[in-house]
Amino acid sequence: MRKTTIATLVMANLTAACAAPIMMDDTSVSVSALAETEPVGTANADAADDPAIWRNAANPAASLIVATDKKAGLYVYDLDGQIKSFTLGGLLNNVDLLDLGTQGVIVAASDRTDKANSQIALFRLDTESGKLAELGRIPSGIGEAYGLCMADNVGKPSVFAVIKDGRIREYELTNLTNLSPTGTLIREFAVPTQPEGCVIDPRNGAFYVGEENAGIWRFAAGATKGRIVAPIDNKQLVADVEGLAIAPEGDTGGWLIASSQGDNTYARYSLPDMKPAGRFRIASGAFGATEETDGIALDTGSFGPKFPGGLFVAQDGKNEPDAQNFKLVSWQEINEALSVGPAVTE
C-alpha cells in the first residue's frame, strides 16, 4: 500500500524525540529496469500491488508474471510487459503461485473484499494462453485479508493468510484438481502490529514476514513463536517494510530482499544470518524509476536473453501520467552492482 514519503518520515522524526533519525547518506547502488508492464486498469488510485513469477523451464523467455490490481483483479503479463489476460476478482491484494506439476500452476490471492472476513481466492494458470481459471475461494478467518505467500511442503501445498491486524494463518490446500478446493488450518500465530509481505525459504520452510513499522520476522517451519531478524533501523531498512523475496543459494546461503518503502530502496540481507548485504534502487532509465514499492518477486533462474541471470519484479507506486505498473529488472545486474557498490555500514 502507498505510504508516506521519505520527506514525511524525516519531518516526523524531527518532531519525535524518541525516534531514530533517517540516515540521509545514501549507500544504495542504482540499477534500471529492462522492461515494464502495461499499467493496471484502475487509474488515479493506489491499485497495483503485488507480483508473482512463473518460470517456463522449457522456454524461459515465455515465462509469465501474475500481478494484482487490488481494486479489481489479476493480470497476467509476458516478459515484455504485455497483458496476456485480466481476470475480475474483487479486491485481491497479494498474490503467489506454485507449479505443482500434474496439478497445474496454482495461483492464490488474498481477498479483502469483505473487510471483516478474509478469504483466499484460488486459480489455475493456463501457461500456454496466459489465462486464469477460478477454482474457488476458501475462508481464512476473521479479519481483513492482506499479505499472502505459498509453500510447497513436499507435495502438500499450503498458503499463509496474513491478516491486517497481525494474525497469520497457514492452511493446507487440498482438492485442487476440481472446483471445490479446501483449506485446513494447520497453524496460527501473530506479530504485534500490521504485517504484509511474506516469503518462505523452500529449503527449510522458514517463514519470513514484514511487520511494516518494526522489521522482518522469522518463524521456523511449524513454529508459532518467532523473532525479528532485521529491525527497522532507518539505515538499512526504512519503514514501511513491504514486499519480501528470497534468492536461495546452496543448502543455507543466499539472500533475502525487502522493499524499504520509506526511502524507495530495496534492502538485501545474507542468509541465514540476516546480516545487511547492500541496498539498491531502481533508478530512472528507459522505463522510469520505482517509488513507494509494495510487492516484489524474484526468481534466480534463466529467463532468456534479456534476463539470463534471473528476474526481479517490483511494483511501481508512482508511474505518472499513467496508472501504477510493475518494473522488470535483471537480477544479474543487481548482483553485479552490489558487488562493486558502496560499502555496507552496520
pLDDT in tens, 185-239: 999 999 999 999 999 999 999 999 999 999 999 999 999 999 999 999 999 999 9
Domain encompassing residue 192? 6-339
Quick check: is 10 in a domain? yes
Instruction: Name the residue among 101, 112, 183 with its Cα closest to residue 147.
Output: 112
> DSSP label at 76?
E
Q: How many domains does the structure of the chain reveal?
A: 1
Confidence of residue 7 (pLDDT cuts 50, 70, 90): very low
Q: Which helix (H) or strand (E) holds 249?
A: strand 241-249
**pLDDT attached to residue 153:** 85
Mean pLDDT of 319-331: 97
pLDDT in tens, 58-110: 999 999 999 999 999 999 999 999 999 999 999 999 999 999 998 899 999 99
Quick check: is 346 in a domain? no
Quick check: is 77 in a domain? yes
pLDDT at 21 over 90: no
Quick check: is 344 in a domain? no
**pLDDT attached to residue 177:** 84
Quick check: is 1 in a domain? no
**pLDDT attached to residue 123:** 97
CATH of the domain at 24: 2.120.10.30
Residues 146, 140: contact at Cβ < 8 Å?
A: no
Quick check: is 234 in a domain? yes
| DSSP conformation letters of 186-228 | EEEEE-SS-EEEEEE-TTT--EEEEETTTEEEEE-TT-S--EE
Q: What is the mean pLDDT of the chain?
A: 92
> What stretches of 63-179 show up as alpha helix (H) in DSSP?
none
Quick check: is 304 in a domain? yes
Quick check: is 97 in a domain? yes
Least trusted range by pLDDT, from 12-16, 147-151, 176-180, 334-338: 12-16
Residues 76, 130: contact at Cβ < 8 Å?
A: yes
